[in-house]
Structures are given as structure tokens and as C-alpha cells.
Structure 1
Amino acid sequence: MLRLHRVQPDAALWADRATYPDRLIFHTPEWLRFVAESQRAEPLLATVTDAGQVVGHYTGLLSRRFGMRILGSPMAGWTTSYLGFNLRPDVPRRAALSALMPFAFGEAGAAHLEIRDRGLTAADLGGLGLRWDEAPTAVISLIPSEEDLFGAMASACRRNIRKAAKSGVTVEEVSATPAFADEFYDQLRDVFAKQNLVPTYSVERVRSLIRHLGPAGRVLLLRARDPEGRCIATAVLPWYHRTMYFWGGASYREHQNLRPNETLIWYALRWARSRGVTEFDFVGGNSYKSKYGTTEVPVPWARRSRSPLVAHLRDAAKQGFALKQRTVARLTAVR
């Protein structure tokens, strides 16, 4: 029987967590400091034991909503793709998830739990009192050659990349400075305005991510310039171990005819591959991503509440946020 035990992080704990083959950037101390700061949340780390022997680790963060303790691993809106477990290859994830329930609602004192673990499948969730949504992500294997990666893209995507090069679009790597966050966010506002929306987070979240990940060398920041040297598109791409993630990309609508977005992705794929990264994760399954030759991977987002009332409050909060976003966008347009 597996059990979870809350622990305080120290150098030995981080060193052990870094030995697990399923480790992700979202399990690193730098990323957790970023989430804790941007969400005003408290990291909660636990070991997973089997007969007293450590066989894995759990990562979550505690926050408060409606006066209740919420354990997110992660929560929607945290701009964090996956947390959950790091486990030895022979440890079933369903067994670890089953052990998480009494821990979350007992020792951790949570009223609500959410989890999105890259290794969990829908088959692992049945019979545990969980509700879940399908939340697939689009990934690209970087193991093939550059020629094969390019050939796997849709023909229109390849044409756009060639067009950008012929038009004089260039890509540059950017140092981790707050000024880049302002550039990116200004373009992001333009992206959302196209849909009569506003960004779901503030520019301070971008600054926080850069501030925490930049010194560790775990984020690639890219800028695309037009032939006149103007910045027309940007991308934020955290990476660690075997995976690079598309955390955010933005561009000005008036320059999208130069196709800077495809060019940024193509640059990032080659950059990551040259450093031994074997997977590019788009962090979501929107249809436009398929043009890059992606494969869809199912990653359910599961949740469980102590009571039906808590579950209702969670769903109402999600709907309220979407309404607020549309309302703010309309007010901004009027001004």
C-alpha cells in the first residue's frame, strides 16, 4: 500500500527528485517559486512510500478560495501544464493517485483537489470519486532529423516558413530581462483583442516567470524582427530535461502576413533538438497546431471535492472568470 508523507524541501530532496525519468520543469524549485509567487500559493511536497521505502514524489500547491484550502496539482489558470507525481517506472500511477486522496483531504486539509499528471490516463481515474475533463496536448517528437521534422509539417506551414525567410524575417535569442516581458505582453493584448478578449493574466506573471527561470537557463526567449528591424512576434519557451514547452507566443496582427509565428516555432524546434531535447509540447490541443506535424496525447484534468457545494463553487468560479474576461474586453474596447 502506497502512502504520502509531507516533507520540507532540502538539497537532498531536490537531488533525489531530479533522478526520476518522468521529471518535468514543473517539478523544479524554480518553477514552483514562480507559481507560488504568481498565485500566492504554498508549495506542498510529499514523498510516496511503499513499505517505508521512497518510490516517488508528489508536487502540489495550497491556496485559498472562498475561505477554503485548495490543493492544486495544478489548478486551471496557473499557466502550469502538469504536476502530479514522479514515480519509479514500476510504480502504478493509479495506486499513487489512490493514496493521494486520504492525504489531500486528511493531512493536507484540502476542501478541493485538482490534478493533471502527464502519466495519468482516463483508465487510471475510474472508481476514485473523481470528475475529469479531456485535456489533450499536441506534441512533436524531436528524435527525427531536421529534414524529417520539416517534411512532417503541412505544406502550407512549410511555405510560410520559406516566405518569412525570403521576406527578411529574422529570429534572435533574447536575454532574460523584464523588458522582454513588456514586449511580449503588448503583442499578447493584440492577439486577444482579435477575439474581443483580454489576456487571462497580467504582465507581472511573465516577468515572474523570466525572473525565476532565466538565471537557471531554463527558458528560451525569442524575438522575430521584420526587415526594418521592428519586433513583430515573440515566444516564451521553458525547457528542461527532455521537453520544451510552448508557454506563450504573440505577434502583432498587422505583421502576421510575414508569417513570424511559424518561423519562431521552427527556430525553437531546431534549437531544442540541437541540445538533446526529444519532445516539444504545445501545451494544449488546438487544431491550428496540427500543421506542425503534431501527435495528440490525452492528459485528463481530474478533480474531486469534499462536498458537492465545493464542486459547484469551483464550476461557478470558472464560468465567472470567463464572463469577467469578456466584460473587461468590451469595456476596454469602448474606451
Structure 2
Amino acid sequence: MLRLRRVEPAAALLSDRATYHDRLIFHTPEWLAFVAECQGAEPVLATVHDDGALMGHFTGLVTKKYGLRILGSPMAGWTTSYQGFNLRPGVSRRAAMKALIPFAFDDLGCAHLEIRDRALTEDDLGGLGFQWDAAPTAVIDLNPDEDALFGAMASACRRNIRKAAKSGVTIEEVHGDPAFAEEFYDQLRDVFAKQNLVPTYSVERVKSLIRHLEPAGRILLLRARDPEGRSIATAVLPWYHRTMYFWGGASYREHQHLRPNETLIWHALRWAKAREATEFDFVGGNAYKTKYGTVEVPVPWARRSRSPLVARLRDAAKQGFALKQRTAARLAGVRSDS
């Protein structure tokens, strides 16, 4: 029977975690420091044991809402895609999920648990008291050569990339630029304004992400310039091990006819492939991403509460966040360009 045991982040344990094939950037100390800083959360690392033998690791963070302790691995709104477990080959994720329940509610004293594990399936959750939402993501296999990757894109997408090149759009890789976060965020506001909304996080989160990941070389920052040298689009792309992630992209609407967004993605795909990454994860399954030749991968977002009251509080908080965002947009005077 598997059991979880909370541990301190000792160097030996962190080194062992970094050997697992299913390791992701969201399991790294740098990412945990970023989430902890932005969410006021407490990182939780645990080892997974079977009769004393080390079988894997668990990653999460504990935060407080309404005075209740909540274990997120991760929580919605943390701009973190997946956490959950790193397990040795052959170890059952269902068994690990079963062991997580007493760890979260008894050992940590939490009232609510949420988890999104990249290797978790709905079959792993049945009968364990979890509710879950389908939360698929769109990915690109980077193993084919560049010609095959380009050919897998929709014809319109390929035309847009060629158009950007002919129009004089250039892509630059950004390093150590303190102005980049503000630049990205200004463009992001313009993206949200198109839908009468405002960004769901502040510019400080962007700065925190860059501050924690850039020194470790785990983030690619890209800027697209028009022929006059003006910044017209940006992208924020964390990467680690075998995967690059699309954390955020933004552009000014008045320059979108130059098609900088597709060119940014194409540059990122080639950059990641050159560094032996095997997957590009768009972190979500929006329909517009299919033009890049993506494949949809199911990743359930599971949750379990100690009581029905806590579950209702969680749902009310989610609805309240959506209302707060719409209200903030109205107060900011955001208007559609339609």
C-alpha cells in the first residue's frame, strides 16, 4: 500500500526528483518559489513509499481560503498547468491518488484538495470520491523534422508565417530586460480589452515568473518587431526537460495584420526542438490552437472536499472571481473594438 510522507526539500531528494521521466517544470524549486510568492502559499513536498521503498514524489502547495487550509497541486488561477506526482515506472497513479486523500485531509489538516497531474486519467479517479472537469490541453510532437512540423500546420497558418517574414517582422530573444514584463502586460491588456475584460493577474506575477526562472535558464522570452522596430507582440515560454509551455502571448490589435503571433510560435517550436525538447504544450485546448497541428491530450482536473459545505464554498469562490473580473473591466472603462 502506498503512503505519502512530507519531507523538507533536501538537496538529495531534489536530485532524485529530477531523475524521473515524468518530471515537469512545475515540479522544480524555481516554479514552487514563483507560486509561493504570488499566492502566499506554502510549498509541500512528499515522498511516496511502498513498504519503506521510495516509489516517487508529490508536489503541491497549501494556501488558505475562508480560514480553511487547501492543498493545491495546483489550484485554478495559479497559472500553473500540472503538478501531482512523479512516479517510478509501473507505480499506479490510482494507488497514489488513494494515498493522497489521508495525506491531504489528515496529515496536512486540509479541508479541500485539487490536483491536475499530466499522467492522470479519469479511470484513476473513479470510486475515490473525486469530482473532476475535463481539462484537455493541445500539444505538438516536436520529434518530426522542421519541414514536417511546418507542413502539419493549417495552410492559412503557414501563409501567415510567410506573410510576416515578407512584411519585415523580426523575432528577437530577450535576456535580462527589466522592461519586458511591462511591455508584455501592456499588450496583454489590449488582448483582454477585445473581449471587454481585464487580465486575470497583475504585472507583478509576470515579473515574479521571470525573476525566478530566468537565472536557471528555464524560460524563453520573445519579442516581435515590425519593420519600424516597434514591439508589436511578445511571448512567455517556460521550458524544462522535454517540454516547452506556452505560458502567455500578447500583441497589439492594430498590428495583428502583420501576423506576429504565428511567427512567435514558429520561432519557439524551432528553438525548443534545437534544444532536444520533444513536446510543445499550449496549456489548454482552445480551438484556435489546432491551426498549429496540435493533438488534444485529456488531463482531468480533480477535486475533493472534506464536506459538501467546503465544496459549495469553492464553487462560490470560482463564480465570484468571474464576477470580479467582469466588474473590474467595467470600472476600468474597457470597451470592445467591434
Quickly name the TM-score band, shorter chain normalised. Answer: over 0.9
Aligned twin of 1:226: 226
Percent identical pairs in the alignment equals 81
Aligned twin of 1:175: 175
Shift of 1:330: 1.1
Shift of 1:74: 0.1
Per-residue Cα deviation, 1:131-159 (whole angstroms, up to 9, x for no partner): 00000000000000000000000000000
Opposite residue 26 of structure 2, the aligned amino acid is F
Could you tell me whether the CA contact under 8 Å between 1:134 and 1:300 is conserved in 2?
Answer: yes
> How many Å separate the matches in 1 of 2:178 and 2:38?
15
Shift of 1:89: 1.0
Are positions 1:90 and 2:101 aligned together? no
Opposite residue 212 of structure 2, the aligned amino acid is H
> How many Å separate the matches in 1 of 2:307 and 2:105?
11
**Which sections of structure 1, spanning at least 5 residues, go unmatched?**
none
Aligned twin of 2:214: 214
SS in 2 for 1:22: coil
Aligned twin of 1:103: 103
SS in 2 for 1:109: coil
> How many Å separate the matches in 1 of 2:44 and 2:253?
41
SS in 1 for 2:215: coil
Opposite residue 171 of structure 2, the aligned amino acid is V
> How many Å separate the matches in 2 of 1:278 and 1:30?
22
- Give the direction of change, closer, same or farther, for the CA distance of 1:243–1:197 in structure 2 (3 Å limit): same
> How many Å separate the matches in 2 of 1:179 and 1:52?
50
Opposite residue 322 of structure 2, the aligned amino acid is A
Aligned twin of 2:74: 74
> How many Å separate the matches in 2 of 1:245 and 1:45?
23
Runs of 4+ in 1 over 2 A off after TM superposition: none
**Which sections of structure 2, spanning at least 5 residues, go unmatched?**
none
TM-score when scaled to structure 1? 0.99
TM-align CA RMSD: 0.8
SS in 1 for 2:4: strand
Shift of 1:177: 3.3
> How many Å separate the matches in 2 of 1:73 and 1:276?
27
> How many Å separate the matches in 1 of 2:173 and 2:244?
15
Could you tell me whether the CA contact under 8 Å between 1:170 and 1:224 is conserved in 2?
Answer: yes
Could you tell me whether the CA contact under 8 Å between 1:62 and 1:72 is conserved in 2?
Answer: yes
Aligned twin of 2:139: 139
TM-score when scaled to structure 2? 0.98
SS in 2 for 1:333: coil
Per-residue Cα deviation, 1:281-324 (whole angstroms, up to 9, x for no partner): 00000000000000000000000000001000000000110011
Could you tell me whether the CA contact under 8 Å between 2:196 and 2:334 is conserved in 1?
Answer: no
> How many Å separate the matches in 1 of 2:129 and 2:203?
37
> How many Å separate the matches in 2 of 1:49 and 1:176?
42
Aligned twin of 2:251: 251
- Give the direction of change, closer, same or farther, for the CA distance of 1:106–1:79 in structure 2 (3 Å limit): same
Shift of 1:17: 0.3
Shift of 1:178: 2.9
Per-residue Cα deviation, 1:185-221 (whole angstroms, up to 9, x for no partner): 0000000000000000000000000000000000000
Could you tell me whether the CA contact under 8 Å between 2:197 and 2:334 is conserved in 1?
Answer: no
Could you tell me whether the CA contact under 8 Å between 2:164 and 2:263 is conserved in 1?
Answer: yes
Shift of 1:87: 0.1
Aligned twin of 1:19: 19
> How many Å separate the matches in 2 of 1:195 and 1:304?
33
How many aligned positions are there?
Answer: 335
Could you tell me whether the CA contact under 8 Å between 2:153 and 2:293 is conserved in 1?
Answer: yes
Aligned twin of 2:51: 51
Could you tell me whether the CA contact under 8 Å between 1:178 and 1:210 is conserved in 2?
Answer: no
Could you tell me whether the CA contact under 8 Å between 2:193 and 2:334 is conserved in 1?
Answer: no
SS in 2 for 1:222: strand
Structure 2 matches for 1:215-294, cutoff 5 A?
A: 215-294=215-294
Per-residue Cα deviation, 1:68-100 (whole angstroms, up to 9, x for no partner): 000000000000000000000110111000000
Aligned twin of 2:7: 7
- Give the direction of change, closer, same or farther, for the CA distance of 1:194–1:6 in structure 2 (3 Å limit): same
Structure 2 matches for 1:161-200, cutoff 5 A?
A: 161-200=161-200
Shift of 1:334: 6.7
Could you tell me whether the CA contact under 8 Å between 2:233 and 2:261 is conserved in 1?
Answer: yes
Could you tell me whether the CA contact under 8 Å between 1:176 and 1:210 is conserved in 2?
Answer: no
